[in-house]
Structure 1
Amino acid sequence: MLRFVSQINAGSACTRDPLFVMFHGYGNDESEMIRILEAVYRQDGHTDQRPSYLSFRGTYDRPYVGGSYWYPDGCGVKERRRACSEVGDGVVSLLDAAAFGNRRRILVGFSQGGYLSYRMIVEHPSFFDSAILLSPSFKGETDTVLASGTRCLLAYGTEDRTIPPDDQRIARRVLQSAGHLEYHEYDGMGHAICDQEINDIRMFVDR
């Protein structure tokens, strides 16, 4: 069952207003991505704007320490892809409605949520307009060929020890091969989000 919180504002009839479709990292919840989006919209005096979003909670709950995740820690590639496919198919079915027909669908995911967003582009290559992949996990994707027109922003910190350097390189190579990648690397940042990254996300969304 998909669990999410939403804020949907009336879209303009003449422009394709963005709808952010957001997925948090391992052990967190839907509020993580809302905080990131709110920070993006505080930049450059945009405090009066209230972005439309659906922020989803992971399908697996941690029973004792709280938080959720999208696929079991340490699972194999097949199980990871199967879990992502189930979520992706459900999200696409939800969004494939007249109410969202005039929206720019923008995926946003951090870590596990970034990998999930990437798999959604692979399996639904023409459905999403853009994807913002923040420090995504990428294990087991060496054989993937991405054939999609979705614009992607990919970002990592130079001190990220959670995502192995080889996986980061593979992520960049796979996404670059599709021809629509904007890549950012942040000096001194670990597996986290920094102020410059927030600003870069804002500029990416505005383009």
Structure 2
Amino acid sequence: MQHTRASGRWRRALKRFAAVAAVLVPSGVVSVVVAEPAQATVCRTNAHVYLTSVYPSSFRFENQPVDGGTDDYQMFASDWTSLRVGGNGLRPYTSAFWNVESNVSGRFTFNSGVAGGNCVANETYVNLARHTVGGEVWTVRANYLTGNSGQFIQNQAHFRIFFVDPPPPDPWYGNPCYYAEACF
């Protein structure tokens, strides 16, 4: 008789547990789904963009302030400017872009290559067919989507270019730009 009472209690306890589990398990599944972050971590590094065609190279990371300082460079004024840019830790299949504000010729934008599934926008040359003059200053701000947090970094101060007049031709050596990379 005692064996029957124990198995009856066991059955009632098991039925109660099953009823509570039937209510709680679906709620738990829903709460786990809701608790997941909107963008899962997909990149190996925090997002950053870079300019590598100058020395030293210029990098800006997603955790740096938007209005932080810029890296400053000097180039000879010419009919076009070439920059090598890229990014890492970017949201896959997006590209970084930079807003340029010139104190002479207004505003314009240029883009990096598109990031692959590995979050990398490989370095690419951007050739800007824009005439520059001595005394012109380009203030360049970066914009990009981060691959891990999904943040949009907007108008982050990145670098400035101060354009100077090329030196006059040297009568002994001909064209002064023959050996200067900034003239090309």
**If the TM-score is normalised by the length of the shorter chain, which range does it land in?**
under 0.3
Structure with the largest fraction of strand: 2
Task: Give the TM-score normalised by structure 2.
Answer: 0.26
Task: Give the TM-score normalised by structure 1.
Answer: 0.24
Q: Which has the higher contact order (CA 8 A, sep 6+)?
A: 2
Structure with the largest fraction of helix: 1
Indicate the structure (1 or 2) with the bigger Cα radius of gyration: 2
